[in-house]
Amino acid sequence: MKDIIFELQDMRYLNWAKTRKSSGTAGSFLKSYDDTGKKKKYYKLSDSDPIRGIIGHECVNEIVVQRLLDLLGIEHLEYTLVHALVTVEGKDYETYLCVSEDYKNENEGKISLEDFYAVNKTDGETVFDFCKRNGWEKYVYEMYLIDYLVLNRDRHGANIEVLRDMKKKSVRLAPLFDHGLSLVCRCHSLEELKSFKVTEDRKVQAFVGTMSTLENVKTIPKEFMSKIPKLKKSDIKDIFEGLDSIIGKEYLAKMQEMIWERWCNLDRI
C-alpha cells in the first residue's frame, strides 16, 4: 500500500515540538520537519503525554480520512503512515507517524483563512459569504461533508489555509488537511469506545459555519450532493485495508460503523 510504510524506520534524528515551520500555528500534537530534500517534509505524532507515551491514533485517522476523500473525489493533502522509531524528551518510542510534503507551489506563501478573512472581509460579511465571494463555495461544501462523516472536531481558522502567489496575483485554498481529531479520537479505552455514539452531534471547532457538523451539512445544496460518488458498504471495508495490524479490531469496527451510519444518515437529513 502506497500510503503505509510497515517496515520500521529509524527516525530518532527528528526533533519534536508543538509548533513547526509551517503556518506558524501551535497544535495539540508533536510535530517536526525535514527541509534537506527538494520538498520540505512535515511529520506529526499522535496524542502523547510524558507518562503514558504515545497513546492516540490520530495518525491512523489521517489515512482513513484521506482514503475516504479519494472515494468522494475531493482534493486533499497526501499523508503517508510510517512505522517509526522516534525519540521524544529522551525516550525512544516505536509508533506510527504521519508524513506529508509541502503543498505550496513555487513563489506561493500562505496565511490562515482566519487572518485572510480579517484583513479582506467587508462590513458585516460572514465567513461563508466571504468564501462564496472568493469562489470557494464548492470547497466549503466538500469540507462540510467530510467533517460530518468523520466528526472532525478541529476545523479552526488556521486549519484552512490561503495560498497566495504575488507574482501571478493568484489566490487559492490549500487542499483539505488535518483530520486527526476525528472519528473515535478521544476514546483511549475500550469502555470509552463502547459508550461512544457514532451518530451523535457534538460541539466542534468550525471557523466556517456553525459548531455543529450536522447543521453545517444540512446547508449543502442537493445539486452538489448529487455529484458526489455514492459510497457502498464494501467501500467502507476497503478504507481500512492494512490497518488491522496497527490499531485494535474494536477501534476499526467502530470507525467503520461510524462512517457508514453517518453516510446513511445523509439521506434522512
Query: Structure pTM?
Result: 0.94
* pLDDT tens profile 118-133: 999 999 999 999 999 9
pLDDT (average), residues 52-57? 91
The whole-number pLDDT of residue 37 equals 79
CA distance 195 to 166: 51
CA 9 centroid distance within chain: 24
CA distance 47 to 59: 9
Cβ atoms < 10 Å from Cβ of 188: 14
Domain coordinates of the chain in residue numbers?
4-101, 108-268
Where does 108-268 sit in CATH, by number?
Answer: 1.10.1070.20
CA distance 24 to 181: 19
Dump strand ranges (E) for the chain.
4-10, 31-34, 41-44, 48-49, 53-54, 80-88, 91-101, 108-112, 154-155, 161-165, 170-173, 205-206
Say whether pLDDT at 27 is over 70. no
